[in-house]
Amino acid sequence: MSGNSSLTLDALDLSALLCSRVCHDVISPIGAIVNGLEVLEDDDDPSMREFALELIRKSARTASARIQFARIAFGAAGSAGASIDLADAEKVSKAMFADEKTQIAWSAPQALFPKNKVKLLLNLVVIASSAIPRGGLIDVAVTGGGDAPRFVLRAKGSHARIPPHVEGLIAGTPEGGTVDAHGILPFYAGLVARAAAMDVRFTIEGDEVTVTATPTEAAVGLPGAPAPSIEDERPSDSAPPDTQLA
């Protein structure tokens, strides 16, 4: 494949890689739950049992948060073309990182946005977190309306860097012409960005990486602009209760 050719994944390969990504995110807390249950079965020491119960509680919260996040970021999250409340995106983003070394600051209007744009925003949150491997702060700012929004994510922390290969993956031109489970998230984010008519750019200054997503030129009314997406006209898809995963 030439450096300028976009990679096209078979639908089965894409779904398999996304499933691998989700499984990778939840296997650790689920394994911790199993370990806690084994302690409860085998140990009668009160302090050990309390430790096991706390481990189970914490791990269950983590697993639930990651599944709820994945439901919107990767899943259907309702009928095709539905819109999603930005408040729900904020909720799942903050829950995703609640027990992590990375903090989320969120500034966005209270509004329904087309689903693909919200999916892009959530995927960019995860990509921004990988820009600060030692933790820090991700400041998420959403401006504009759902038809032509602007996303600016500033990831600030020690040893900040633009994640390796992420720009090529988002552009659909991964190094070597292939993508694996480690690179599927930015590759998928690029697919969603193109579906949502958004351009994604990265800059770095000191210990801060800035990720900016803006409407493509066609999406802001230049000659040849496409007709408005039908997803803007579909009903809202609010987030489910915490116990509902699908």
Binned at pLDDT 50, 70 and 90, residue 229 comes out as very low
Helix (H, G, I), strand (E, B) or coil at 61: helix
Binned at pLDDT 50, 70 and 90, residue 245 comes out as very low
The reported pLDDT for the residue numbered 81 is: 60
Whole-number CA gyration radius for the chain = 19
Task: Judge whether 220 and 197 are in contact, CB under 8 Å.
Answer: no
Contacts of 16 (CB under 8 A, 6+ apart): none
Give the model confidence (pLDDT) of 31-85 as tens digits: 999 999 999 998 888 899 999 999 999 999 999 999 999 999 998 765 456 899 9
Binned at pLDDT 50, 70 and 90, residue 239 comes out as very low
Residue 91 resides in a domain? yes
The reported pLDDT for the residue numbered 176 is: 85
Residue-wise burial string across 61-93, b where 16 or more C-beta atoms lie within 10 A, e elsewhere: ebbbbbbbbbbbbbeebbeebbbbbbebbbbbb
Chain mean pLDDT for the chain: 86
Residue 195 resides in a domain? yes
- Looking at the structure of the chain, the number of domains it has is 1
Residue 55 sits in a domain whose CATH number is 3.30.565.10
Higher pLDDT, 241 or 119: 119
**At residue 203, does pLDDT exceed 90?**
yes
Quote the CA–CA distance of 57 and 210 in Å, as a whole number.
Answer: 35
Residue 15 resides in a domain? yes
Binned at pLDDT 50, 70 and 90, residue 104 comes out as very high
Cβ atoms within 10 Å of 216's Cβ, excluding its own: 15
Domain that holds residue 54: 9-213
Residue 123 resides in a domain? yes
Residue 132 resides in a domain? yes
Q: Find the mean pLDDT for residues 135-155.
A: 96
The reported pLDDT for the residue numbered 225 is: 44
**At residue 227, does pLDDT exceed 70?**
no
**At residue 240, does pLDDT exceed 50?**
no
Binned at pLDDT 50, 70 and 90, residue 25 comes out as very high
Higher pLDDT, 228 or 124: 124
Cβ atoms within 10 Å of 204's Cβ, excluding its own: 13
Distance of CA 240 to the CA centre of its chain: 18
Q: Token pair of 38, please?
A: 């084994």
Give the model confidence (pLDDT) of 146-186 as tens digits: 999 999 999 999 999 999 999 999 999 998 888 998 899 99
**At residue 20, does pLDDT exceed 90?**
yes
Helix (H, G, I), strand (E, B) or coil at 102: strand
Quote the CA–CA distance of 152 and 182 in Å, as a whole number.
Answer: 24
**At residue 2, does pLDDT exceed 50?**
no
Binned at pLDDT 50, 70 and 90, residue 237 comes out as very low
Residue 235 resides in a domain? no
Residue 85 resides in a domain? yes
Quote the CA–CA distance of 168 and 177 in Å, as a whole number.
Answer: 10
Binned at pLDDT 50, 70 and 90, residue 220 comes out as low
Residue 221 resides in a domain? no
